[in-house]
Structure 1
Amino acid sequence: MQDPQHGVYLVVTAVGFSALAMLWLGLVAGLVLRDGRAIDRIRPATLASLHRTAVSCGLTLAVVHALGQLAVPSSEVRVIDLLIPFLHERTQFGVGLGVVGLDLMFMVAGSVALRRFAGYTRWRFVHRLGYLAFALLLGHVCAVGAGTYHVAVIGPIVVIGAGTIALGLATAGWVSRLPHRVRDLLAEGRWGRRVAVHVDATRCVHFGFCQHEAPDLFELRDDGRLDHASTARANQIDAAIRAARACPTRAILLSRRAGRVVFANPGQDEDEVPSPPGGSEEGSGEHAVA
């Protein structure tokens, strides 16, 4: 007859792998939402909902996995081991990585509630710690499972997880935009020009980060509509670019003239982007938030 403790161990382990899979799905959804290239095929609200739901389910399963270790006598996990990292006697390093990674992931998730108070720049810095948290959880799987699971189980998990983290860091928006920003600064004399401001209502999802970065150019009204200036003066260009970069759905387009773009949507050739509708040098625009 099979040992009941072994059955509990298998259930707890399965819950742990399920938690890792859901956190990975949430990470991928966040990467797709940030990159913006799939926005035309998938609604931003759908991606954001998938991101939140997957991470929430992953964190819940991770807590169940951690508490379930208390019911497995062979794991020798104590309550204090789940609160203070690196105290477990047998697998001190592996369990410690899991505790630190889970605590960090909860901190990243909790920061979402404070993003409007902290501002997009600070919140984005904290939110990017999710990459580190996921890497620590991968290290937990490797360290704890090295002597338990077959390499055929651990290998693909580590490769897929590490590849996802590397892809997220390699596709960071500021990396791909830096050459274009330097070229524009040197060749076009951007600082002495006015910049036209256009907001794509089909992409905007009412996050309000643009207003925080450039309150003189953007105002999110209580009725769910966004007022924005149609042009940014030379001393407002920095704020306009910060607002465009802060928009997670890349709904803000800044252009100097037809065919020349200061900040465009990812994957769009800046020589093919038309000037924003209207074309007036002064005034304000308004659109309903999707």
Structure 2
Amino acid sequence: MKVQKKVIFAILAVMFLVLSGCSSNSQNQDEQKQISKAPSKFEIVQAKTINMKTIQGIGYPGNDNALYIAADKGLKIYKDSKWFETTTNLHNYMGFQPIETGFLASGHPQKGTSLKDPLGIVESTDKGKTLKNIAFYGQNNFHFISSSFSGNEIYILNEQQDKNLNYGVNYSKDNGQTWKKSTLKNFNSDSLGMIAVHPKNGDIMAMATRTGVFYSEDNGNTMRLTAGPFMVTALTFDGDRILYSSVVENNTILLNTVDPKTGQQGNITIPFLDQDNPITYLAVNQKNANQIAFTTYKNDLYQSLDGGKNWNTLLKDGKIE
């Protein structure tokens, strides 16, 4: 049995590539403000049970020593071998991106709140208690958001042409105030997928596609294949290296590294994954590179504390193992 195409397409959010001119889109600075305040009952409490039906992003925000999981009903937090959750602000987070001061996200607000739907790009610096509008609030929803760890350079994958933003890859170098479209010169894949940004240099980005990892040092305006050709389902930066998961011959699921400067490749041994359960999200703690985590299509979650030598199963089918 081969990996079903719909599984891979769901992971990559496959779109036909449209090459068009670079343009800009400015955001009213008056809207750069806090858009939500959690009621007084907002707390982060130890979870009695965990049962996540949809995982939509993971990462290690710089303002907490914990692994965050973005789900369709708010944040789940794994810290000190315990699971925690918030008592409110159970938003349907998408495009989750950890940054040094907290996290960026998109998605849809919890029903019953006064927030606009969709969220556009929002930022939280207090572990999800409040949200600040970065861009496109009430206008767009983004499945893929990526940023440097500083949070100033942001990339988004826009799935359709509209009045707010160009179709395809767009980037901002001023924390969402203005936007340009990446021209993707020399990009010869037929799909656009997950974007990763260098933690310190926001001009450097990489993208997962059905034909490998494409790499750019100029905001995606010029691209080159740095690993492939094979299906890549998830990627992130580990310092200057790119950590990525591929599906190769015989539908084997691998976790690899590549240094885009030298082309040097590496392999990290992971627990066996069924061919219909590829890796969906990868995360490296930018303050402790030995901490690595990944999720799978079936909502399994694994974490390593020693750089990938040993792995702990934190979730199986979205439930506590």
After TM superposition, the score normalised by the length of structure 2 is: 0.24
Greater C-alpha Rg: 1
Larger helix proportion of the pair: 1
Larger strand proportion of the pair: 2
After TM superposition, the score normalised by the length of structure 1 is: 0.26
